[in-house]
Amino acid sequence: MIDQELEEFEDFGSYLKHTRVKYGISQRFLSRESGVTRANISKIENHKAGDVLLSTAIKLSNVLNLGIFLKHSPKP
């Protein structure tokens, strides 16, 4: 189920926002619990953050109880 749901999203930001909203968690709460600024969470969710650091993804994922899977995509 989780893998199937994850495949519906093209990036971490979309999955983060979907999961956060699904469970009724505010960006403010997520920020407080993860130590990631609310501004940075907003940028990640709205595709304005560029590449997300793995450490940031782990902090956010831990609060939402999400697993992280790494996928190597070679650049052309």
Instruction: pLDDT tens for the chain, 76 residues: list them.
Output: 344 455 667 788 988 999 999 999 999 999 999 999 999 999 999 989 888 899 999 999 999 998 777 777 777 7
Quote the pLDDT of residue 4.
45
Domain architecture of the chain: domains with CATH: 2-64 (1.10.260.40)
3-state helix, strand, coil in the chain (%, to 5): 55, 0, 45
Quote the pLDDT of residue 39.
97
Gap between the Cα atoms of 25 and 17, Å rounded? 9
Asked if 12 and 57 count as a contact pair (C-beta separation under 8 A), the reply is yes
Gap between the Cα atoms of 18 and 9, Å rounded? 9
Gap between the Cα atoms of 43 and 31, Å rounded? 13
pTM of the shown model: 0.80
